Amino acid sequence: MRYRHITLLTLTVGTVTAAAMVGAKMALAAGTDSLRTPARRRPGAAAHSGNGQDRAAFDELLRRQEQAWADKDGAAFAATFTEDADLVTFNGDYLRTQDAIAQGMQYYFDHYIGDTTIRTLDQHVRFVNRHTAIIVRTSCQIQAGESECREGSLSVNTNVLTKKNGVWLQQSFQNTRKTELPRS
């Protein structure tokens, strides 16, 4: 395999995140120069853009994840992931496997995440192939009784989803909290 310069969807100053690297490896395997550049295709070959069932499955996964967050249920949150999935949290913790995601998220729910819900502000879905999709979402947390994003909670997450036996699940998830760079 030859190495190429890769433009990552999420910039993390000083480090390259695991999920972004997974996406970058998929991009190389798919024949792209970057995650934002479509692969060169044979003349007449169409890109896979999914179908209504695929997108409905993505919406259902997101709904389940948002409900698990609202219920503070680490096991239900982890159930949206494959057994060998990984998750990089907003603070850089790296949770490997569905069981570790369940335990780690339950710890966060019990000790750090207050009474909040998740609001998705936008998303971009890109199919790498029929069985792999990358979804980049911007989201925030809404404090109970509030209607606006909680200050400091705006984040961008990269979700790598895989379809096995007709079922879409998250293979990898990486979350980056958005922060202003200091002016130089």
Q: Is the pLDDT of residue 64 over 60?
A: yes
Q: CA 112 to CA 98: how far, in whole Å?
A: 20
Q: Which of 128, 115, 4, 108 is nearest to 54 (CA)?
A: 128
> pLDDT digits over 78-92, tens only?
999 999 999 999 899
Q: CA 50 to CA 141: how far, in whole Å?
A: 29
Structure tokens at 182: 């200091």
Residue with tokens 């792209």: 32
Structure tokens at 82: 């494959």
Residue 154 CA: distances (Å) to CA of 83, 135, 148, 167: 28, 17, 11, 29
> pLDDT digits over 95-110, tens only?
999 999 999 999 999 9
pLDDT at 47: 56
Residue 6 makes CB contacts below 8 A (sequence gap 6+) with 24, 27, 28, 33, 34, 35
> pLDDT digits over 4-60, tens only?
333 333 333 333 333 334 443 443 344 433 334 344 444 444 456 778 999 999 999
**Is the separation of the CB atoms in 7 and 16 below 8 Å?**
no
Q: Is the pLDDT of residue 172 over 90?
A: yes
**Is the separation of the CB atoms in 15 and 27 below 8 Å?**
no
The distance between the two most distant Cα atoms of the chain, rounded to a whole number of Å, is 54
Q: Is the pLDDT of residue 93 over 70?
A: yes
pLDDT at 153: 94
The percentage of the chain sitting over the pLDDT mark of 70, rounded to a whole number, equals 74
- Where are the domains positioned within the chain? 18-39+50-177
CATH number of 18-39+50-177: 3.10.450.50
Q: CA 56 to CA 64: how far, in whole Å?
A: 12
Q: How confident is the model at residue 184 (pLDDT cuts 50, 70, 90)?
A: confident
pLDDT at 87: 98
